[in-house]
Amino acid sequence: MHVLVAYATKYGATRGIAERIAEVLRQAGLQVTLAEVDRAGSPTAYDAVVLGSGVYAGRWLAPAAAYLKTHAGALAERPTWLFSSGPTGSGDPVALMQGWRFPQDLQALAEQIRPRDVAFFHGAIWPEKLNLAERLILKALKAPIGDFRDWAMIEGWARRITAALAEA
């Protein structure tokens, strides 16, 4: 079973999450290709796909959104899992983002693809990497600064993927 773990990242937080997911899948004996989404190629080369993106102003990064649009048909034909990396701060990510779970503009596509699950993980913000506009936005929003990625939550989700694929 060959699984693609593809991601879009601006500052590396989502890459780290994708790497951890890939590690858990490999430990379970799956063949895994880990790739930035614009280098991932078609989903038709894989038996299953895990696709994730960092969230900016409520939207996925453009390369991840484009991949979902371009390959919706192929993704619908194979087990697909989607995840977003976003909120900083402790507590449930959906509660932290006032009920937000997945980009509004991609919801119809996601319904078409029928992913096995759609996860929303805590993200990470490294202020020194941000441009001035981004720093000002985060200051105005009073967003907590730091690495809030919840590795136990991420690994648990990845283990559920391995369990589902073992049944497939």
Ligand X SMILES: Cc1cc2nc3c(=O)[nH]c(=O)nc-3n(C[C@H](O)[C@H](O)[C@H](O)COP(=O)(O)O)c2cc1C
Binding site for ligand X (CB under 6 A): 9-14, 54-58, 85-87, 97, 123-125, 130, 134, 137-138
CB of 60 vs ligand X, minimal distance in Å: 10
| Residue 5 near residue 33, CB atoms below 8 Å | yes
| Residue 87 near residue 97, CB atoms below 8 Å | yes
Q: Is 77 helix (H, G, I), strand (E, B) or coil?
A: coil
CB of 102 vs ligand X, minimal distance in Å: 11
In the complex with ligand X, the residue whose CB is nearer, 52 or 115, is: 52
CB of 105 vs ligand X, minimal distance in Å: 13
Question: Which amino acid is located at 123 in the chain?
Answer: G
CA distance 17 to 23: 10
CB of 89 vs ligand X, minimal distance in Å: 10
β-bridge pairing 59-60 and 124-125: unpaired
CB of 10 vs ligand X, minimal distance in Å: 3
Give the helix/strand (H/E) hosting 131.
none
Q: Is 11 helix (H, G, I), strand (E, B) or coil?
A: coil
- Closest by CA position to 14, among listed 47, 46, 61: 61
Residue 14 CB coordination number (10 Å): 29
In the complex with ligand X, the residue whose CB is nearer, 97 or 164, is: 97
In the complex with ligand X, the residue whose CB is nearer, 79 or 86, is: 86
Tokens 């969230």 belong to 55
In the complex with ligand X, the residue whose CB is nearer, 29 or 133, is: 133
In the complex with ligand X, the residue whose CB is nearer, 11 or 47, is: 11
